[in-house]
Amino acid sequence: MIKLTIAEPDNFRNDYMAAVENLILKELKILRRSVDHARGNGLDDLSDIRSFQFTTRDVIAIICDQEKNKDDFLKKNYETTLNTFRQGAIITPHDLSPIYDLIDALIDPATSKLRELLLCEPSELENKSDELYNEFGITTVEEKKIIKIVFNYKTQTDITNAIKGFFQIKNIAPFCPYCNFHKTRYIRGTHGRGAEGFQLDHFFDKATHPLISFSVFNLVPCDWPCNGTNKLSTDFSDEYHLNPYTDGFNQTMVFKAKIDPTELTVSKILFKINENFPSDRYKQLTGNDPSVDVDTLHGNLNVFQFNSRYNDVDILERAGYVIENLNHTINNHRIFKEVLGDTADSYTNYKNWYQRNTAGRFDPLEFIHLPLSKLWRDLHDDIYLKKATELPEGAKDIINRHYTVIP
Ligand SMILES: [Zn+2]
């Protein structure tokens, strides 16, 4: 897990609103009209019926819990259909007031409710839907289904295309923040076709939390294995899962290599958690058990199957090469002195040397720019800081400068 860092957060938020706000408002206004019609209001002007007749049909179908014939919502039949529905309705116009009031408040620019919903902080996401439901007294399944007509990631293709376009331009995750394995940078190829891309994962599942389907910090650009093979519709919570907009592993979890002493190869990648179990962060990493792969639904290490993925043959093989290179330098002080160079440039020299030898980024803030960066950095720190007293002057400071190691 690598933290997603937004370079210019105010611009990021404002650009997101510019990309999606009007599209969502348009759909909310259509829904407000359809709900009002279901309550028996505003039926005098049906001149632009094509813009709302199918939304009204969806609203009535939800309330009656049965599919409705689309011919019943043509202009000539529309008013009769709604009158008939209201006469036999179990749900009265009064029952639709709370959902109407919520839609109305989201539309009203004076309330800022839509902006607050779309831009709410990662830590506020989990309770945001319930907060709004409670504020407006929304309790029934039907009401929640009605508002979901607008906040439906699957069917609202104009909105979801705008969201995808926004993330393609922002390109905040060159590699997957969940696993740091695969490229997720969007690349536009020839003729405007996408050449490389990403999945947009809903951190909090859109079925359980429909109102935050379009909230920007609930949308995590990631790779297909994380979204489509591992997480799927697993119901995430702040208690048991870590949102990459909030934090990465940093030093709470560090990779270690188990070396086969006879072959001098890496036999296993281990996960060392620098917390006492059970702590809040521990639960976000491995759930209700301190070991990986026991509580498979909870903890990012379990859900994204780090144990299986980081212990695949190619990773172990490459880890062996990286460790061999690093050991070569630490045992050869002449090379080390050349790497460090002049004091003024020593950090840059060291960083460049490290990046050539591991093919990962050295600075944790840049881990997301190359795959497996945290793995290589953790293996490097483990080897080098164990031999800290043997290192030439200045080397330990460089290693610790941006990445304090918890003993
Ligand atoms: Zn991934």
What are the tens digits of pLDDT across the range 63-111?
888 888 889 999 999 999 998 888 876 666 668 999 999 999 999 999 9
Structural domain spans, the chain? 9-148, 157-231, 253-401
In this prediction, residue 94 carries a pLDDT of 66
Q: Which residues pair with 175 in a beta bridge?
A: 183
- Residue ranges in the chain modelled with pLDDT below 50: 405-407
Residue 50: the pLDDT is 94
- Chain centroid, CA 134 distance in Å: 26
**Cα 166 to ligand 1 centre (Å):** 20
234-264 per-residue burial string, b: 16 or more CB within 10 A, e: under 16: eebebebbbbbbbbbbbbbbbbebebeeeee
Q: Which residue has the tokens 């407000």?
A: 32
Cα(93) to centroid of ligand 1, in Å?
47
Question: pLDDT value at position 65?
Answer: 83
Q: Please state, in angstroms and rounded to a whole number, the distance separating the CA atoms of residues 215 and 231.
A: 19
The strand ranges marked E within 50-96 are none
CA of 305 to the centre of ligand 1 (A): 10
pTM of the full structure: 0.94
Bridge pairing between strands 199-202 and 219-222: antiparallel
Phi/psi at 265 (5° precision): -110, 165
Q: Which residues contact 80 (CB under 8 A, 6 or more apart)?
A: none
9 CA distance to ligand 1 middle (Å) = 23
Distance 228 CA to ligand 1 centre (A): 10
Residue in the structure block whose two tokens are 């529309």:
78
**216 CA from centroid of ligand 1 (Å):** 19
